[in-house]
Amino acid sequence: MGKYLLRRILQMIPVVLGTTLLVYALVFALPGDPVKAMFGDKPVNESVAAQIRAEYNLDKPFLVQYLLFLKNAFTLDFGNTFSGQPVIDEISRAFPVTIKLALMAFCFEAIFGCVFGVISGLKKGKWYDSVILIVSLLLISVPTFVTGFLGQYFLGVKWSILPVTAGSNPGFFDLLMPAMVLGSVSMAYIIRLARSEVSSNVSLDYVRTARAKGMSNRSVIFRHILRNSMIPVVTYLGQDLGALMGGAMITEQIFNIHGIGFLTYQSILKGEANMVVSVVTLLTLVFVVCNLLVDMLYAALDPRIRYA
């Protein structure tokens, strides 16, 4: 096991290198000229533009730019944004908020998704199964901007139950509504997944055996059915934490959260390679670690899965 872990950790090196190269290339391939765009609709002073290009190494060929970035990154210098802020500062401001939001959304979708999914799967065909189906269907088909707006308008502006926007340094209550909005779509997926797995496990032989042995309903559900139903759910959850961090752009905009999603979106539009690469690399690490945890969980859930 220890060897396996070590191998997985060593694998991060090519992953990080691959990601940075790929993303740097993608940003480089973005059409347009980020420096010209800094002048807005106004005339561009070419000699000033040249100075700025030189400052950000934008005047050099792609590979040189990339290697320079990489070289500096080794000393934890990820360069500056076009507004002169160190990339590392921007990220360290945005990251804690994003982690908070993503973890809250994650807990929300994991708990409610599993509970509703399991109930639905155990009672397949009953009326609450149908209700849960309709609700999850709604969450899937209604775009996030609608859920966000409705939540913000009614819970925030109209009834003043929850804060309207999160702002900087948000606390638990500030992020409650955004987390629910953010997690709702994934929750629907988890409901569907859990329901499908539970319902197909419920009638299997070993469950019958367990019941025949006189095991209580509760332990049958928890020890047997759930344990055997969790692999797809855990897989989905594992990859979703990273997705919640990087893909929360719409939620962040609606609730004025200065997080990673919005930062990435803005820097892609501006063509800030340093920022985009740094954020994406960070997210890759999150994905790698989450997926490693998920693989470990597989072995815990299903002893037959073993890693050498």
Q: Is 140 in the site for other proteins (CB under 8 A)?
A: yes
Q: Which stretch binds other proteins (CB under 8 A): 68-76, 99-107, 159-167, 215-223?
A: 159-167
Which residue from 3, 76, 212, 213 is in contact with other proteins, where contact means CB under 8 A?
212
Q: Is 126 in the site for other proteins (CB under 8 A)?
A: no
Which residue from 102, 234, 248, 275 is in contact with other proteins, where contact means CB under 8 A?
234
Which residue from 65, 176, 183, 192 is in contact with other proteins, where contact means CB under 8 A?
192
Which residues, numbered 9-68, are part of the site for other proteins (CB under 8 A)? Answer: 11, 14-15, 18-19, 22-23, 26-27, 29-34, 36-45, 47-48, 50-52, 55
**Nearest approach, Cβ of 72 to other proteins (angstroms)?**
18
How far is CA 251 from each of CA 73, 109, 143, 158, 282, rounded to the nearest angstrom? Answer: 30, 15, 11, 19, 20
Quick check: 271 and 34 in contact, CB under 8 A? Answer: yes
How far, in Å, CA of 307 to CA of 296, rounded? 9
Q: How many CB atoms lie within 10 A of CB 217?
A: 9
Q: Is 238 in the site for other proteins (CB under 8 A)?
A: yes
Q: Is 223 in the site for other proteins (CB under 8 A)?
A: no
How far, in Å, CA of 264 to CA of 273, rounded? 10
How far, in Å, CA of 190 to CA of 197, rounded? 10
Q: Which residue, 2 or 84, is less far from other proteins as judged by CB?
A: 84
Q: Which stretch binds other proteins (CB under 8 A): 63-71, 106-114, 166-174, 213-221?
A: 166-174
Q: Is 189 in the site for other proteins (CB under 8 A)?
A: yes
Which residues, numbered 256-295, are part of the site for other proteins (CB under 8 A)? Answer: 256-258, 262, 264-265, 268-271, 276, 280-281, 283-284, 286-288, 291, 294
Please name every residue paired with 86 in a beta bridge, in sequence order, or none if there are none: 80
Q: Is 7 in the site for other proteins (CB under 8 A)?
A: yes
**Nearest approach, Cβ of 107 to other proteins (angstroms)?**
20
Q: DSSP letters along 88-143, please? A: HHHHHHHHHHHHHHHHHHHHHHHHHHHHHHHHHHHTTTSHHHHHHHHHHHHHHHS-
Q: Which stretch binds other proteins (CB under 8 A): 61-69, 71-79, 137-145, 217-225?
A: 137-145
Which residue from 153, 154, 173, 222 is in contact with other proteins, where contact means CB under 8 A?
153
Find all residues with CB under 8 Å of 226, minimum gap 6, and list them. 118, 198
Which residues, numbered 65-84, are part of the site for other proteins (CB under 8 A)? Answer: 82-84
**Nearest approach, Cβ of 39 to other proteins (angstroms)?**
6
